[in-house]
Amino acid sequence: MTNTVLRLSGITKRFGPLVANDAISFELGRGEVIALLGENGAGKTTLMNILFGHYVSDEGTVEAFGKQLPPGDPRAALDAGIGMVHQHFTLADNMTVLENIALGTQSLWRPSLDRAAARERIERLAADFGLSVDPAATVSTLSVGERQRVEILKALYRDARILILDEPTAVLTPAETDALFRTLKLLVAKGLSIIFISHKLHEVMAVSDRVLVLRSGRLSGERETKSTDRKELAALMVGQEVKPAEVTPVHAGEPLLVLDGVSTARHNGAGLDEVSLTLRAGEITGLAGVSGNGQAALAALIAGTQRPTGGRISIAGQAVGDWSPRAALGHGIARIPEDRHAVGTIGDMSVTENVIAERYGSSRFSRMGFLDWKAARRFAEEIIADYDVKCPSPEARIRLLSGGNMQKLILGRALDPEPAVILASQPTRGLDVGAVAYVHRMLLAARERGAAILLISEDLEEILALSDRIVVMSKGRLSPPSARGERSIRELGELMAGHGEERSDHAA
């Protein structure tokens, strides 16, 4: 670890009054994996964007392989051998893997790609690093895990010697995560250096040699992975000890939402196939499963954005008639959507306009077709205070908020009317430790109050920690429910993989 490939010195970046990065310095050695750990909004992504030339820092320099990089020039970063895999992929969906990877590496004046050479090179790289993917496949047909492999291949194809991975596991299944980690080991063995950005402690412990912890834009700690533990890192990250959510015994009550043999069309993966499910008051029902097996369809159904093609939905004992988002809200269903940016909020509208979005038509916020902006603003201020949202003002565009604060606003909007039924779809995806704990506390408090909660999550630990009953979804069908602790992780894993489908006919 003696030869340094990358050196950041005194990087400072301000956005108006906000200091996103405050005099951050570190070095990366050849063949080393550094984990950059920090809550959302701690400045990880900003730092990497400066390193890669997307942003220009106000102070400080970046040096790669002994040469200083000109600020604000991604081309120079690429040429210096720095490759970045973004959290949100940057692939052209309608083109093939090969075209995506070779895109931009050849002169525009050439009439066509040298496909044979490109293909050979991609296949060699894929074989060397365990990144199996068909170069001729169209990107739109690939799974999320495969797309990520294409992104990594793209960087390697451009001779990257330093690879930056921004929250690479946020979208992966456990098996895909393991495959990614194996690839990283192979890359390091070949002498590449890796910066791994994450806020998941167990991953950081698993892959890194050294951990840098960022908090509020500052480097709050630097540890050898061998000589630290999750508890210490968590403390460095949030500045205090994080207590896991405490779960009190369950007092299950009346069934509040009952699905009876409901089927739906496909929606981001499988549709529902005669699914029956009962959500009871005072109970959290956890829905586990591999992404794309019908969770999105179930979430859309309960949220009201998708209509059933068969079967019956009853709420509090009454079969529902016409089904729509408004009907769902009218029946007292609170919805926390999976995608905060595209669905949960309207980015270019203000915090105030967003918090009233589900209830702007109620007499509280409007009269005779006119909105009562004073009442709306008061409500926004209440939510900001009650749910501890950090934002400049209720007039700020919600796009400017961090993921955690956006989620707190969505929680506030959904939970404030004390809903009877709560649909929480991936409520903690992409959130930091502090925000995750907050979301969990809120869900448990709603459970105490007697709400019936459906928690859809790809994080099995989260499901196990919170759920009173667990159902597993596979290929659009549900497993029979199991009580807390009844099934082992291995058994749940088997159900997720699609075994035990036959038994789903007995689902409650």
Partner 1 sequence: MRLEPKPAPSIGVTLLFPVAAIAATLLFTSLLVLAAGASPLSVFYLVAKGAAGSQFALFETLTRATPLIFTGLAVAVAFRAKLWNIGAEAQLYIGGVVTVVLGTGALPLPAPILIPVIIIAVMLAGGLLLLGPAVLKTRFGVDEVVTTLLLNFIVLLFVSMLLEGVLKDPMGLGWPQSQKVIADAQLPRIIQGKRLHYGFVIAIVSAIVVWVIMKKTVLGYEMRAVGHNPEGARFVGIPVNRVLMKTALLSGGLAALAGFSEVSGLKGNLTLDLSPGYGYSGIVVAMLAMLNPLGVIASAIFVAGIFVGADAMSRVAKVPSYIADVMVATSLLTMVVAILLTRFRVRWR
Given the rule CB under 8 A, which residues bind partner 1? Answer: 15-16, 54-56, 70, 72-73, 303-305, 324-326, 328-329, 335, 337, 342-349, 353, 357-358, 360-361, 366, 369-371, 373, 396-397, 400
Q: Which is nearer to partner 1, 183 or 366 (CB)?
A: 366
- Structure-token match 């909660």, residue found: 453
What does the alpha-carbon distance between residue 366 and residue 399 come to, in Å, rounded to a whole number?
A: 25
Q: How far is the CB of 268 from partner 1 (least distance, A)?
A: 12
Q: Is 395 helix (H, G, I), strand (E, B) or coil?
A: coil
Whichever of 219 and 401 has its CB closer to partner 1, that residue is 401
Residue placing its CB nearer to partner 1 in the complex, 57 or 220: 57
User: Considering beta carbons, is residue 191 or 392 the nearer one to partner 1?
Assistant: 392
Which class for 447: exposed (0-12), middle (13-18), buried (19 or more C-beta within 10 A)?
buried
Question: Looking up tokens 């009907």, which residue turns up?
Answer: 327
C-beta of 108 vs 368, nearer to partner 1: 368
**CB 413 to partner 1: min, Å:** 9
Helices (H) then strands (E): counts for the chain: 16, 23
- Residue 256 CB, nearest approach to partner 1 (Å): 20
Nearer to partner 1, 204 or 336 (CB): 336
Contact criterion met (CB below 8 Å) for 320 and 313 = yes
Q: What angle do CA 366, 370, 373 make, to 5 degrees?
A: 65
Residue with tokens 């009218």: 330
List the alpha helices (DSSP H) in 332-471. Answer: 351-355, 373-386, 403-415, 433-448, 460-466
**Exposed, middle or buried by CB within 10 Å (0-12, 13-18, 19+), for 384?**
buried
Cβ atoms of residues 260 and 308 within 8 Å = no
Least distance in angstroms from the C-beta of 369 to partner 1 = 5
The CA–CA distances, whole Å, from 223 to 6, 34, 207, 233, 239 equal 18, 10, 14, 9, 15
- State in angstroms the smallest separation of the CB of 343 from partner 1: 5
CB of 266 to partner 1, least distance (A): 17
Q: What is the largest CA-CA distance in the chain?
A: 72
Nearest distance, CB of residue 308 and partner 1, angstroms: 17
Q: Which residues pair with 472 in a beta bridge?
A: 288
Strand 218-224 relative to strand 366-367, pairing: unpaired
Q: How far is the CB of 180 from partner 1 (least distance, A)?
A: 29
The nearer residue to partner 1, 95 or 343, going by C-beta atoms, is 343
Question: Which parts of 208-257 fold into alpha helices (H)?
Answer: 230-238
Secondary element (H or E) of residue 207 = helix 201-207
Show the tokens assigned to 43.
């400045």
CB nearer to partner 1: give 78 or 472.
Answer: 78
Instruction: Work out how close the CB of 395 gets to partner 1 at its nearest, in angstroms, rounded to a whole number.
Output: 8
* Shortest distance in whole angstroms from residue 412 CB to partner 1: 14
Alpha helices by DSSP H, listed for 292-332, are 295-303, 325-330
Interior CA angle at 341 toward 271 and 205, to 5°? 90
Residue with Cβ nearer partner 1 (335 or 469): 335
Residue closer to partner 1 by CB (options 75, 226) is 75
Torsions phi, psi for 4 (to 5 deg): -85, 130
Q: Which is nearer to partner 1, 265 or 349 (CB)?
A: 349
